[in-house]
Amino acid sequence: MVSVLGRLEVDSRRLVMELVRLAMFSDGVEEAGAEAVDGVAVTRVVFGPADGAARGMVEELAREAGLSVRSDAVGNTFFCWEGTEAGLAAVATGSHIDAIPNAGMYDGTVGVLGAIAAVRALKGSGFQPRRSIEVILFTSEEPTRFGIGCLGSRMLAGVLSSWDAVKLRDQDGLSLEELRVEAGFAGELGEVQVKPGSYAGFVELHIEQGPVLEREGRQIGVVTAIAAPASLRMRVEGEGGHAGAMLMPVRRDALVAAAEIIQAVESAALATGAQDTVATVGMCDVFPGAVNSVPSRVELSLDVRDIELERRDGVLQAIFAACDEVASRRRVKVKREWVNADAPSGCAPEVIAAVESACTAEGVRARRMVSRAYHDTLFMARICPVGMVFVPCLGGVSHRPDEFVAEAEIAAGVRVLARVLAELSSRV
C-alpha cells in the first residue's frame, strides 16, 4: 500500500447530497407503490431525457474535480486524472447511472459519484498518480432498453461487435444507432473497442445487492469472482380453445406445460447443491389471456447464473432435457432463443490483495465474497486485471425504491477505493 497516504478525508455528506440530486433525474413513468415510502423511485433509461440530464450533472462534477471529459460512440464517458508518467496504461474505476424502472438511487451511482469523490480525496491528500486514473461512466449496464446488459462495457471489451450492436432495437423499434446519435454520441461504433492491456487495472465500487455484509456487521466485501448469466427466451406452443368445450384428455395446454418447465428450472438449480447456482423465470406472457380460453402460447424468460461455467451449463442442459420431455408428453412445442451466455470471471489476485490491504489501512471489517449479480467489471476482465469493492445495503434490498446505503458505509467504501486507486496507479 502507498506509504505516503495518511488519513483520507471524504466529504460523505456532500457525496450523499450528490446521490440525492442525481436521483431527481428520473423518467418517472412507473407507479412507485408502497415500496417507495422510505425511498426514492428512480427510472432512468439509457439515452432518454433523464439519462441525458444525469450525465450532464456527472460531467459537471468531474470537471469541478479537475478531470478531463471525453465520450466514445456508444456513450461510455471517461473522466481522466493525468498521471505523471505519460505512456503508462491508466488505472480505471467506475460504474453506471442508468436505472431499471422503479429502482433505487444507489445501484451503480455509488460507483460513479463515489469514484469522483475518491479522486477528490486523493487530490486533497496531495497524492499524485504515476499512471493516469480514469473514472468510467458505462453506457446501459441495465438491459432495460435493448434487452442486453452491460452494453457499453461489452463493446469496450469487444464482446459485442459493432455489427451486432447496430442490430439492437428497443421495444418501440428504435435502433441503437439513431438513439445514440440523437443523444449526442457521434463516431464509429467500431472504434469503441479497446485492446487488452489498454488499462493496467480496474476496480468497481458497488453496493452488495445482498444481505451478507449487513448480516455479519462488515463494512466491505472483497469480491473474488463474478457470476454471469445465460439468458434465453422460450416459447411454449400448444393448442387453444374454449375452456368449457375442450375436454381435458385431449388438451395441449401451453400454460400447464410452461408451469412444469418453470418447476424444472427450479429443480435443476437446486440439484447442484451449490448456493452460487441460481435460476429464474422472471417473465411469463400467456396468450390469449382470457379466463375462459385454454392458453395456446406462453412466452417465458430464463436466467441461469453461476460463478462456475461448467456447473451453470450443466443446469442448462438439465433444463433443456426437461423441456424436451414435457414437450413430448404434453404434445406441445418448446422453442428456445438465446439472448446471451456470458462466461463468469475471477478477480485478479493482485487487485484482491490491494483491496484487502486498503481495508487493513482503513481499519474496516471485510470479508471475501462472490458477486452473484453481474457488473461491467465482468467485461473489463477481458481487458485487464479487475476487482470489486462491495458496501452493504439495508436488508440486502436493491432494484427497489427502498434500496438504502448508510452514509458511513459509502464513505468507508470510497476511502478503500481511493487507497486501491493510489496503490495501482503508483505501480510501474
> Per residue in 117-147, pLDDT tens?
999 999 999 999 999 999 999 999 999 999 8
Residue 3 clears pLDDT 60, i.e. is over it: no
pLDDT value of position 31: 46
| Range list for CATH 3.30.70.360 in the chain | 228-341
- Pick 40 or 243 by higher pLDDT: 243
Task: Record the pTM.
Answer: 0.90
> Per residue in 304-318, pLDDT tens?
999 999 999 999 999
Dihedral over alpha carbons 11, 13, 16, 18 (to 10 degrees): -70
- For 244-264, what is the mean pLDDT? 97
* Phi-psi domain of 401 (left: phi exceeds 0; alpha: psi -120 through 50; beta: other): alpha
Residue 264's DSSP bridge partners are none
Cell of 235: 416459447
Fold (topology level) of 12-227+345-426: Aminopeptidase (3.40.630)
pLDDT value of position 36: 44
Amino acid at 400: R
pLDDT value of position 1: 52
Look-up of cell digits 483520507 = 8
d(CA 75, CA 72): 5
* Phi-psi domain of 307 (left: phi exceeds 0; alpha: psi -120 through 50; beta: other): alpha
| Range list for CATH 3.40.630.10 in the chain | 12-227+345-426
Describe the crossing of helices 12-23 and 49-64 by its angle, rounded to 10 degrees. Answer: 160
Cell of 92: 480505471
- For 252-272, what is the mean pLDDT? 98
The backbone torsions φ and ψ at residue 324, rounded to the nearest 5 degrees and listed phi first, read -65, -40
Least confident of 27-41, 85-99, 112-126, 391-405: 27-41
**HSE value, Cβ hemisphere, 13 Å, CA-based, for 291:** 0
**CA distances, 23 to each of 99, 213, 214, 304, 401 (Å):** 10, 24, 24, 31, 11
- For 144-163, what is the mean pLDDT? 95
- For 257-267, what is the mean pLDDT? 98
d(CA 148, CA 160): 10
The strand pair at 293-294 and 333-341 is best described as unpaired
SS3 3: coil
> Per residue in 339-395, pLDDT tens?
889 999 999 999 999 999 999 999 999 999 999 888 999 999 999 999 999 999 999
Is 228-341 a domain of CATH 3.30.70.360? yes
Distance of CA 360 to the CA centre of its chain: 27
Instruction: DSSP letter for 344, please.
Output: P
Which residues, other chains included, contact 163 with Cβ-Cβ below 8 Å and sequence gap of 6+? Answer: none
Look-up of cell digits 395446454 = 253
Which residues, other chains included, contact 72 with Cβ-Cβ below 8 Å and sequence gap of 6+? Answer: 78, 156, 185, 187, 191, 192
pLDDT value of position 128: 96
SS3 76: coil
Residue 29 clears pLDDT 80, i.e. is over it: no
The strand pair at 220-226 and 345-346 is best described as antiparallel
> Per residue in 32-77, pLDDT tens?
444 444 578 999 999 999 999 999 999 999 999 999 999 999 999 9
Secondary structure of 150-200 in the HEC alphabet?
CHHHHHHHCCCCHHHHCCCECCCCCEHHHHHHHCCCCCCHHHCCCCCCCEE
What is the overall mean pLDDT for the chain?
Answer: 95
